[in-house]
Structure formats: structure tokens, C-alpha cells
Amino acid sequence: MKNLSIVFLVITFAFLTGLAFATPQDSKFDAFKVEVKGTDKKGNILFIPGLGCPGKVWDATVKNFQGEYKCHVFTLAGFAGQPALKGANLAQIKDQVIAYIDHKKLKNVSLIGHSLGGFMSFWIASERPNLIKKVVSVDGLPFLGAMQNPYATSKSMRPMAQQMKENMLKPQSEDVAVKMQTRTLKTMITDQKHLDQVLQWNLKSDREAVAQAMYDMYTVDLRGKVANIKAPTLVMGVWWGKDFGSPLEAIRQTYLGQIKKIPNHQFLMHEKAKHFIMYDDPAWFQTQLKKFLNK
């Protein structure tokens, strides 16, 4: 349990970090910015990045898929310099993403989300199961609060989540922020160039937006709700805590326990990559993604 507690702390920090054109009618959606690229020969893909990251985190992936899919690349309000939506929470952002799909009358929609984006993808697909064709979650789970304790509930996590939110909003110098986030990102990204880029994105993110999103992921439990998902779902996970001696099988079971109610799911564990799988092993990531989408 000691090792799993260390893993839990690392994962918590990890979630602090997973332009072509915008038509005039897009201005009604103030919870995000959307860049659209490609052609919809095979359908539409909505790419949702992790907390603190912009849509650019998906650049290499979009490049590989825009020849066959229309790619809608999101940057959520408050992240990586995108203007924050004051008072917004993840539920409001989720509702606007669904409204965007309806408004655009998008067909054959697949969701691909990293970290927080994976959490959002589960939420959207479980709330509107007939709207989504496929779901891919890149190291994102239905309930962050259960990473340490599978018996945690939304109610039991609220005091801790509130305290965490308040701590995140306390004044902090830029030097301290850089040191803390650099230390955290080293557990999530191997390549220094990518680490530096993600660091800059996070430093440009609105602290209130980040703190609220973290609170929501700790208090919104989708483990039961994901049973509504009709779309085939691929979840990619990583061996969190291997450097601390956490057993691979224990981490695997943590993932499987959260997604077991999804009727049609597939789980892949990458034993070497860190949290940003698409950066750490792009060849493996792209291969698995293409294989799943082409089924």
C-alpha cells in the first residue's frame, strides 16, 4: 500500500499537466477553441488534450489522420494561454462539446482524449451513447479519486479535493512553480524538448481553471456511468510507479477496475512509456490507434 500511495501522488501531479479555421458560428462556444483540419472520408475525430495543454499536443497524431478524418482539435478554456471562462467547471465544458457535435451535425464521431481529455471522453460517450462511434482514452480514467482507494466515492473525496483546490490557489512565485512543475513533468515525459514545451503550456494556464478541473476529476465518479457507453473503447495505460517498486499487475488491475463496466473495451498497458504516451513512443501509439480506428 505504501508503494501505491506514492504512485497516487505522482498520478495526482500528472493530471496537473493528458489552427486551421473557425467558422463564425463557433463563437457561441466559449468553453474552448477548436481547430479543424482534414477531410471526413471516414468520419470525424474530436481530439481533447490533457489539463494545461493545448490542442497542439496532438499535432503529430492529427497529421497522420487528417487525410482520412476531419480532425476537430480542442483547447479548453483556461489552458495554455486560452482565455479562461470564469466560474466554469468540467460539466459545463462537457455540455458545450456535446452541443458542438449537435450544432455541427457531425457523423461517425470518435473521441480521442489524453488524461483529462480521456476523462471527458468517457463522460461525453456515457451521457450521449448514440452520438459517439469510438472512444480512445490515453492514460485517462473515469474517477481520479479512486486511483489510491477503489472504494472512494464522490462524497468521501470532497474534503480532500477542496483542500487541494485551495492549496493550488495560494500565491506562488514563478521560480517555485517552474521547479515544482519541472520535477513533476520528469515523471511524465522522457524527452527534454517535449518536457520544456509542456512546462511552458502549463505556466501559461489559468490557475483557477486548473484547480477547478482537478477538483472536478476528484469528485465526479464516472465508474458506474460508463456502463452506458455503446462505442468500442480503447484505454491506454502506463506503469505508474515502477521506479518506486509498484508491481505491474497491481497497476494494471487499478486501470481494469475502473473500466470494467464499459461493455466493449480494450486495455493496452505500455510498460516503458510515461504519461504522455504519444510523445514517449509515437510509433507504438500511432500503430495502436490506427489498428483500433480501422476495425
CA neighbor of 190 nearest in space, from 83, 289, 273:
273
Q: What is the pLDDT of residues 60-99, one digit of tens each?
A: 999 999 999 999 999 999 999 999 999 999 999 999 999 9
The residue written with cell numbers 471516414 in the block is 42
Q: What is the pLDDT of residue 8?
A: 45
Q: What is the pLDDT of residue 4?
A: 47
**pTM for this one?**
0.91
Give the mean pLDDT per block of 10 residues along the chain (295 residues): 46 42 56 96 97 97 97 98 94 97 97 98 98 98 92 96 94 91 94 97 96 97 98 96 86 96 98 97 97 94
CATH code given to domain 2-293: 3.40.50.1820
Q: What is the pLDDT of residue 11?
A: 47
Q: What is the pLDDT of residue 244?
A: 77
Q: What is the pLDDT of residue 28?
A: 76
Q: What is the pLDDT of residue 25?
A: 40
